[in-house]
Structure 1
Amino acid sequence: MFPACWSPLKPCFGPRLLGLKRLSALFLSRFSSSMEAPRILFSPSGRSLFDEPLHLSVEGLPPGQEVTLEASLEDERQELFEARAFYRADAEGRLDVSRSPALEGEGGSFSGLEPMGLLWSLRKPMRRLVKRDVRRPFVLKVDVRGGGPAEAPGPLLAHAAHERAFLGEGTRRIPVREGALRGTLFLPPGDGPFPGIIDLYGTGGGLPEYRACLLANRGLAMFALAYYGFEDLPKQLKDLHLEYFEEGVNYMLKHPMVKGPGIGLLGHSKAGD
């Protein structure tokens, strides 16, 4: 025979069981929170402009753990640019690259307090990172692995991706094929008119647009002007006809979205001529 208190009509253990359930729930809650999987946080989240500061932090790490942060970015030619740095989580298991200095160690791309270090140190030997299509953002990938500078990279703890865009919201990209001119006009959001600048590059030729695009996001009417090595323009850099650049200036001065009476010129290398 079972004791009378075991009868479902006399649940004498009810309060005691309820208390145990509450204690178990509290224990599981604290245990699960302490075992929270590490995660990477970006600010701004999801997407930012390429020339905009990007804040990166990691949460959910064991207190004081040393980790390796690996960043990678692939350009339009499938060239992979990479960077790596070593960090130590604080007493609460958090890592903020704007406050925590990178640890010194062989294989690290930098050390010390470098909030944007994982971006400016992205590299591939003998290659230059160039944006060829401003309409498509770069995708920055970040991995967090266990292990610090004195250890081999450990298991993957967290992974996240973030878009670094060139063409800002509302900025207009307008291909220009007028007369002899070959280029791209970028107009900022808004009604204008805007200060106008012609943007020229050097002996690489072609039509780089990334600088003009980024400056247009900041309120300037930017005309990225090609002058050789593009479409039907001369293939080689030999004789330059100044009338071509004068035509570019006149195009900008006549444009209703461009504020006169002067036009700025921005260039480097051969474009300095």
Structure 2
Amino acid sequence: MLQLLPSAKCLFDEPIQVKVTGLSPRQVVTMRARLIDEKGAVFSSLATYRANGSGEIDLDRDASLGGSYVGVEPMGLLWSMCTETLPKMFQKTNSMNPQIVTFSVHDEGNRVLAEMMNERFLMGDGVSRVFVKEGNIRGVLFTPPGEGPFPAVLDLCISKSEIRACLLANKGFVVFMVDLYNDKAFNGKEMQLDYFEEAMDFLKLQAKVGSKGVGIMANSKGAIIGLSLAAFVPGVKAVVCINGRNTNSSVVVCYKKQEVLSTLMFDYIKLINPDSFFVIGRYVFKNPLAEKLKASTVPIERAKGHFLFAASEDDLHWASKAHMDGMVERLQCHGKENFESVSYPGAGHLLEPPYRPYCPSSFQGAEGTLVMMGGEPKSHAAAEVHLWKKIQDFFRTRLSCNTEQIQAKL
């Protein structure tokens, strides 16, 4: 018998305990996990286990002998899933439906001994989801159940995925997810901070929001915009910068009809192509310390709020750890202490909420090719678990709430 505890239904970012009973003493079996994402991509994993003398296997206790991972890894069947052919990024944009994962147990002849479905929900009971089309802004607003007051977080998303925003709403935050590359903010040549300021203003007006300011959560290119908002736009109290940098690239950034950041261009000579399919973009940017390129650097020392910098040390897309160290040094040189930082050895570029399939590479429109993201699956998975909790703790600490804010709106 296969058991998923405490229930076969859970939130996407919650761990489960996988147990098997009723096997022969010391029987060797293969455990498998499989899912199909919204684009039809099939992700799967497998691991070999040996039952104990009572014919039982407990993934919280027992070590995998081989397969997609080895050792004691309670959630290994989830984070080690990958596609069988060309690596693909797991896609989940519809937060209304759970992600179905099929767990199964097979004997040495590959006969199915047991099978069970795990429904992994993005939206918990009482969380509301509303598509917003107001003024210039477009996005999706997630609100937790209860009266509040709740902290407000703006999620700058670069992949139109609602996973991060929705899961954070389950933790007691009002989260507004906006697409970084929408046509109101981005015209192909310029990125307008005014659009995101309008989104912040909309978020602060929500009835259940009790924080005095707004938190911003962003990674990669979105983190550059998040840092820019903290530097130039009032009301940003906390910024989570995941594998970002404070040097702007690709397009100029404008605010109040003025260019505030020039663009740091690619140096394609430094583009590393280890084979015919993938490229490493870690070193493609020109030196931001060059005098003529300093106008591309975000003056983060101007920010009134606090920063949480997170960097992956095995990021092959950007030199994230070096960028983070540079931002920390910049703040310290200006006498600032409004930051904390964390780095993760063995983690790659795409740090997301935990327990999703690992993504070693991704197609990038700017480069027009498959880009290596880096990371070792086990280390990357551990980093995602740690960072996800740290993000929640950081926002709870830095986004104070009071009932007077709620009463004033009512």
Q: TM-score, normalised by structure 2?
A: 0.52
Check whether the contact 1:201–1:270 (CA below 8 A) recurs between aligned residues: no
- Cα distance in 2, alignment partners of residues 200 and 75 from structure 1: 22
* Contact 2:185–2:191 (CA under 8 A) maintained in structure 1: no
Partner in structure 2 of residue 46 of structure 1? 8
**Is the CA contact 2:137–2:184 (under 8 Å) kept in the aligned structure 1?**
no
Alpha-carbon distance in 2 for matches of 1:99, 1:200: 39
Structure 2: 5+ residue runs without aligned partners? 225-410
CA distance in 1, matches of 2:58, 2:136: 52
Distance 1:237 1:67 in 2: 53
Identity in percent: 39
State whether structure 2 residue 181 is matched by structure 1 residue 228: yes
CA distance, structure 2, for counterparts of residue 208 and residue 237 of structure 1: 21
1:201–1:269 CA contact under 8 A, matched in 2: no
1:83/1:121 contact within 8 Å kept: yes
- In structure 1, the partner of 2:235 is none
Q: How does 1:123-142 map to 2 (within 5 A)?
A: 123-124=82-83, 125-142=86-103
Offset at 1:236? 5.9
Query: Which residues of structure 1 form unaligned runs of 5+?
Result: 1-38, 148-152
Larger Cα Rg: Structure 1 or Structure 2?
A: 1
Partner of residue 68, structure 2: 109
- Corresponding residue number in structure 1 for 2:123: 167
1:92 — aligned with what?
Answer: 54
Contact 1:227 1:233 (8 Å CA) reproduced: no
Matched-pair contact (CA < 8 Å) for 1:182–1:227: no
How far, CA to CA, are the matches of 1:237 and 1:120 in structure 2? 35
**What is the match of residue 66 of structure 1?**
28
Partner of 1:262: 213
Secondary structure of 1:214's aligned partner = helix
Deviation at 1:237, TM superposition (A): 4.3
Residue equivalent to 1:252: 203
Q: Which residue of 2 aligns with 1:179?
A: 135
- In 1, the alpha carbon distance for the partners of 2:186 and 2:87 equals 25
Measured after TM superposition, the shift of residue 128 of structure 1 is 0.9
Three-state SS of the structure 1 residue aligned to 2:69 is coil
Q: Contact (CA 8 Å) 2:11, 2:122: kept in 1 or not?
A: yes
Partner SS state of residue 190, structure 2: coil
CA drift of 1:132 comes to 1.3
Q: Distance in 2 between the 1:179 and 1:167 partners?
A: 27
Let me know the Cα RMSD of the aligned residues.
Answer: 1.5
1:240 is paired with a residue whose SS is: strand
Residue 57 of structure 1 corresponds to which residue in structure 2?
19
Change in 2 beyond 3 A, CA 1:110/1:213:
same
Q: Give the whole-Å Cα distance in 1 for the aligned partners of 2:120 and 2:211.
A: 33
- Mean Cα deviation higher: 171-180 or 121-130: 121-130
State the 1:126 CA deviation.
1.6
Label 1:270 to 1:237 Cα distance change in 2 as closer, same or farther (>3 A): farther
Partner amino acid, structure 2, of 1:136 = N
- After TM superposition, the structure 1 = structure 2 runs for residues 192-207 of structure 1, keeping only pairs within 5 Å, are 192-202=148-158, 204=159, 207=160
* Paired position in structure 2 for 1:210: 163
Task: Indicate the residue corresponding to 1:83 in structure 2.
Answer: 45
Contact conserved, 1:67 with 1:144, CA < 8 A, in 2?
Answer: yes
| TM-score, length basis structure 1 | 0.78
After TM superposition, give the deviation of residue 234 of structure 1 in Å.
6.6
Query: Residue 154 of structure 2 contacts residue 214 of structure 2 at CA under 8 Å; is this kept in 1?
Result: yes
Offset at residue 257 of structure 1 (A): 1.3
Q: Amino acid of the residue matched to residue 198 of structure 1? A: L
- 2:98 is matched by which residue type in structure 1? P
- Whether contact under 8 Å (2:186, 2:192) holds in the other structure is no
The question of whether the paired residues in 2 share the 8 Å contact of 1:196 and 1:220 is answered with yes
Structure 1 distance, partners of 2:187, 2:70, is 43
Match of 1:29 in 2: none
Contact 1:59/1:94 (<8 A) preserved = yes
Q: Any idea what the Cα deviations from partners look like across 1:3-48, whole Å, max 9, x if unmatched?
A: xxxxxxxxxxxxxxxxxxxxxxxxxxxxxxxxxxxx1100132210
1:241 is aligned to 2:192:
yes
Q: Distance in 1 between matches of 2:62 and 2:206?
A: 49
Q: Provide the residue aligned with 1:145 in structure 2.
A: 106
